[in-house]
Amino acid sequence: MAGFIPENILDDILARVDIVEVISGYIPLKRAGRNFKACCPFHQERTASFIVSPGRQIYHCFGCGESGNAFKFLMRYERMDFPEAVETLARKAGVTLPQNESINNKAQGLITQLYKINELAAEFYCANLNSQEASKAKDYLLKRGVSPETIKTLKIGFAYDKWDTLINHLRGKGFNLGILEKAGLIVSREAGGYYDRFRNRITFPIFDIKGRVLGFGARVLDDSLPKYINSPETLIYTKGRNLYGLNLAKEGIRGNDFAAVVEGYMDFIIPYQEGVKNIVASQGTALTIEQIRLLKRYTNNVVMIYDADSAGELATLRSLDIFVEEEVTVRVVSLSKGFDPDLFVRKNGIGVFSKEVNAAAGLFDYKLAVLRSRYDTKEITNKAKVSSLMLETINKFKNAILKTEYLKKLASELGIKEEALLEEAKKKKANKFYDTPQPNFKNSPLSVSPTEKLLMSLMLEENSLIGRVRETIDLRDFKDERISRIVSLMFSLAAEGKEAKPQILMNHLGDDISHLVCEPDSLPEGLSLKHKERMVDDCLKRIKGGGEKLKREELHKEIKIAQDSGDEERLNRLIKEFHCLIKTSYNKKKNDI
């Protein structure tokens, strides 16, 4: 949506929200002079180096260099994408965003209704669970170790063993049968009419990251099949794009810097209830790319927890390669045969379960162990087979160092020459990372002229000084191309009558230079405008002086070239220009005295 939002609306949102209020909603801030301080939420530190400036409406960490405006903070802390951050702050600021023209208003209205219908259905099922008719269902949950508090938190409910109780309830709320079918809550009969999709089952609402009900999973009370049925895909629910429990576990995942992933609802519920707050469930399927990318908002480390009866171990191994492609570190726990995470915690306790998770094997070690249990690597053909399957995973690593080290390890484990493995790896041509990687200079730190940085900071603090600078200096006088780009943007905004504040500039600058406007300046407090004007004039003299020196050096080189080539006309013109520059510089110095 943000791509369709005019810059003036983004600027209006930032002008209406207070970054101190936004950030203090996530971490405690302490006043430090005119700014606020905290320990950085983006890296581990003991001494607070994270600064929030209410005057400039930006944050900056002196420890890790992370910086930005309110949009950037939400994107980094909440792992939101830009449109989500814009929508969140727009609601907070009371700013109405223009609708994306590609989205039909009618469809948006339908989506809103579906969320509402699912919420009402969840409330209905919750109320059912407390009725006499649901006593068996409630007893079942309690016997499985699910506490009343957890039932309430997860809004676990019960669908009666009747054909139309939900239909009648929701129709009484004013919803027609057509929209209930679109929500996936009812099913049409071939002979005509409708019936409730979920009957005589315990219901588990499936929430999105914002806590909205997308659909339901429903479990039988006995051993009949299918044990679970889920909502069909709808406008708001797509299987494989959400993780059960992520709305509750996201802070635990961020805090522990890893996510434990199980398969089923109960496998999530019991460990979470017992204190594992960084756990989610894939809802019975192998993780999809969408789910992995959802987890990457909060961590780059995942521990997959399987029971030994998981169908198709080799298929499971292939699915784990997706983590490698997405550059997520994955480890694996394979529980004892006959145990799933739910039963394991109930039988052995949460302490033993946590030890298993902490001792999880890396993907390389886990896969090799599984393959060795399947193939006797003493036989040459089996050794080649295992090598080939392991190379499928190793080839997917984008990091050349990791790839090289895993090849060495595989060679050592199987007693194969490393050169032979390397040759086989090249044959697979999974990627080009066997070539020598070229250094990336994009993010190389470059020193910034203190004078140019000070001039920029003065203009940021006092926009009224921008006109004074624009009349005096040429953008080519700046030695640092990044500062020149920032100042050019400030000139443009000022010419349009707009504020050139740090939080506004960040919407127009790339990450390669936006940090420069976020780094707090060292200007003393209480400087008068006159004092700042004198500082600006001093900066301009220094910058112009440096520019004139550079210009003289360039002219000197061009004069020598003209002499060597015998170009008399060009030589005379350059000498005249050189004398003019010397004279101007002399007069300036004379006037300064």
Helix residue ranges per DSSP H, 415-528? 418-428, 450-461, 466-472, 481-495, 502-505, 511-518
The predicted structure's pLDDT at residue 581: 57
Say if residue 583's pLDDT is above 60: no
pLDDT at 183: 95
Question: 409 falls in which pLDDT band (50, 70, 90)?
Answer: very high
pLDDT for 336 equals 84
- C-beta of residue 47 within 8 angstroms of C-beta of residue 102: no
Distances (CA, A) of 349 to 114, 269, 271, 354, 397: 40, 14, 9, 9, 36
- β-partners of residue 67 are 60
The mean predicted confidence, pLDDT, of the chain is: 84
pLDDT band at 439 (very low <50, low <70, confident <90, very high): very low
C-alpha distances out from residue 106 to 101, 114, 119, 529, 564, Å:
12, 12, 20, 54, 76
Identify the CATH assignment for 246-369 out of 3.90.1010.10, 3.40.50.1970, 3.90.105.10, 3.40.1360.10. Answer: 3.40.1360.10
User: Looking at residues 284-296, what average pLDDT do you find?
Assistant: 83
| Residue range 105-230, CATH number | 3.90.980.10
**Two structure tokens written together for 234:** 């709808």
330 pLDDT more than 90: yes
- Phi, psi values for residue 576, rounded to 5°: -65, -45
Q: What is the CATH number of domain 450-592?
A: 1.10.860.10
The residue ranges of every structural domain in the chain are 2-93, 105-230, 246-369, 376-428, 450-592
Nearest one of 256, 257, 302 to 282, comparing CA atoms: 302
CA dist 308 to 312, 334, 348, 384, Å?
10, 6, 16, 26
pLDDT at residue 125 is higher than 80: yes
pLDDT over 80 (residue 105): no
Beta bridge partners of 159: 201
Three-point CA angle 486, 490, 495, nearest 5°? 150
Helix (H) or strand (E) holding 407, with range, is: helix 400-414
pLDDT tens sequence across 179-213: 999 999 999 998 889 999 999 999 999 999 889 99
What is the per-residue pLDDT for 573? Answer: 76
Beta bridge partners of 249: none
Mean pLDDT, residues 544-558 taken together: 64
Among 139-143, 493-497, 563-567, which stretch is predicted with the lowest mean pLDDT?
Answer: 563-567
Please write the tens of the pLDDT for every residue from 201-258: 999 999 998 899 999 999 999 888 889 999 999 988 988 889 999 999 998 998 899 9
Give 81's pLDDT tier (boundaries 50, 70, 90): confident
DSSP state, 232?
A: P
Give the pLDDT band (50/70/90) at residue 25: confident
Res 488 pLDDT > 50:
yes
Residue 286 above 90 pLDDT?
Answer: no
pTM score of the predicted model: 0.62
* Domain boundaries 2-93, corresponding CATH code: 3.90.580.10
Fold matches, 105-230 and 450-592: no
Does the pLDDT value for residue 10 go beyond 80? yes
Quick check: 104 pLDDT over 60? no
Burial label for 521, CB within 10 Å (0-12, 13-18, 19+), is middle
Dist. CA 355–CA 127, nearest whole Å = 38
Lowest mean pLDDT, pick from 119-133, 261-275, 559-573? 559-573
DSSP of 336-379 = PTT--HHHHHHHH-HHHHHHHHHTPEEHHHHHHHHHHHHS-TTS
Residue 590: the pLDDT is 44
- Say which range, 143-147, 356-360, 464-468, has the weakest mean pLDDT: 464-468
Over residues 363-407, the pLDDT tens digits come to 999 999 989 988 998 899 999 999 999 998 998 888 889 989 999
Region of poorest pLDDT, from 101-110, 321-330, 584-593: 584-593
